[in-house]
Amino acid sequence: MTDPERPLTEVEVDELVRKCKDVCLNEYPNPDRVGCPSDEAIERLAHEDQDLLRNDELISHVASCSPCFRKHVACREQMRSRNRLKIAALSTAAVLLLVFAVLTVRNLSMAPGQTGISKGGVPPQVPESRAQTESQPRAQPDRATPASKPDQWVVATLDLRDLSGSRGEGETRPRTRDLARERLNLRVLLPVGSPPGPYEITVQDLDGDFSRSVTTDARVNAGETSAQAKVDLTEAPSGPLRFGVRRPGADWAWIDVRVR
């Protein structure tokens, strides 16, 4: 039996935080958005506006309304992404300044006679092989380019037909699926026997810091139930993620996914 006075380990604290976030993200549906604040208020709260941080009523609502909590989490993720871009830009500027300083010092340290012109004003002869090599254009280094442009969506399919809803005790854990780190126009093949109608789809990390959720309609064609959803995974973190699907108000069906 667990000692109630024993302090929680770091792993247990992380698991408790993850479960609390999962409850806030999914277990308080508010389809009619009753009592919801404006998107501007949620964004200001995500940016730690001091006036709103003292608003107990607003904080209590966001913590007990899944749509508002998902909006708050998304705003926090966007803020962190912008901060990462700022840090990357500052790092690039620092490298360029360092390179400029090295080149300047090297040029200033050259001997006065090293100008590339021999006595008498005649340029030094360059070996023919070297001249031919220098006259050829230099090959540009390979650069990684995204598979899709910012305004394009990559078509992909995720097959969940072997799922039967949330796993129970003793059920085999579904294999991990791979998804591309792209803006995906995703066709989801739902578990066999799934009815048509509205479905909720979400992709999130285990800590709840990253979450992408959409609502879509599923249709039945030739005995297969499928749903089309646009999910942006370009900023998905490394490590294990979860993909969930359910009808509104029903239990989630979860699988593990990797973003490559």
pLDDT digits (tens, 9 = 90+) for 164-202: 644 444 455 678 899 999 999 999 999 988 999 999 999
Q: What is the pLDDT of residue 125?
A: 60
Determine which of 209-213, 222-226, 237-241 has the lowest per-residue pLDDT on average.
237-241
pTM score above 0.85: no
Are 158 and 220 in contact by the 8 Å Cβ rule? The answer is no
> Which domains, ranges and CATH numbers included, belong to the chain?
8-106 (no CATH), 154-166+174-259 (2.60.40)
Q: Is 30 helix (H, G, I), strand (E, B) or coil?
A: coil
* Stretch among 32-41, 43-52, 56-65, 128-137 having the lowest mean pLDDT: 128-137
| Residue 9, C-beta contacts closer than 8 angstroms, at least 6 positions apart | none
Pick from 210, 149, 214: nearest CA to 188: 214
246 beta partners: 200
Q: Which of 66, 72, 17 is nearest to 44 (CA)?
A: 72
Predicted confidence (pLDDT) at residue 227 exceeds the cutoff of 90: yes
Residue 175 CA, distance from chain mean position: 22
Amino acid at 125: Q
Angle at 69 between CA 228 and CA 185, to 5 degrees: 15
| Among the listed residues 235, 135, 231, 225, the one whose alpha carbon sits nearest the alpha carbon of residue 185 | 231
Mean pLDDT rounded to a whole number for the chain: 78
